[in-house]
Amino acid sequence: MKTLFALVRNTFRETIRDRILLVIAFFGVILIVSTLFLSAISVRQDEKVLLDLGLGLIDIFGMLITIFVGTQLIFREVDKRTIFVILSKPVTRAHFLLSKFFGLGAILLLITSVMLFVFMLVIGFQTDLIIHDDIIGCAFIGKLLLITFFSFLSFLLMLALVIFFSSFMTPVLAAFSSLTVFVIGHLTDDIRMFAQNQVNVSPVFEKIADAIYFGFPNFSILNVKNFILNDIPFTVAELFAAAGGAVAWMILLLLLGTFFFSQREF
Interval 123-180: pLDDT, tens: 877 777 776 655 666 778 888 899 999 999 999 999 999 999 999 999 999 999 999 9
* C-alpha dihedral, 158 to 159 to 162 to 166, nearest 10°: -170
Q: Which among 2-16, 50-64, 140-154 has the top mean pLDDT?
A: 140-154
- Amino acid 122: pLDDT: 79
Every domain of the chain and the residues it spans: 2-262
pLDDT of residue 75: 86
Q: Is the pLDDT confidence value at 29 over 70?
A: yes
Please report the pLDDT score of residue 134 as a whole number.
Answer: 55
The rounded percent of the chain whose pLDDT value lies above 90 is 27
Q: Is the pLDDT reported for residue 92 higher than 90?
A: no
Do residues 239 and 257 touch, judged by C-beta distance below 8 A?
A: no
Per-residue pLDDT at 139:
79
pLDDT at 42 > cutoff 60: no
pLDDT of residue 266: 63
Reply yes or no on whether the pLDDT at 181 is more than 90.
yes
Distance CA 233, CA 247 (A): 24
Strand partners, 135: 132
> Residue 4: which of 80, 105, 153, 81 has the closest Cα?
105
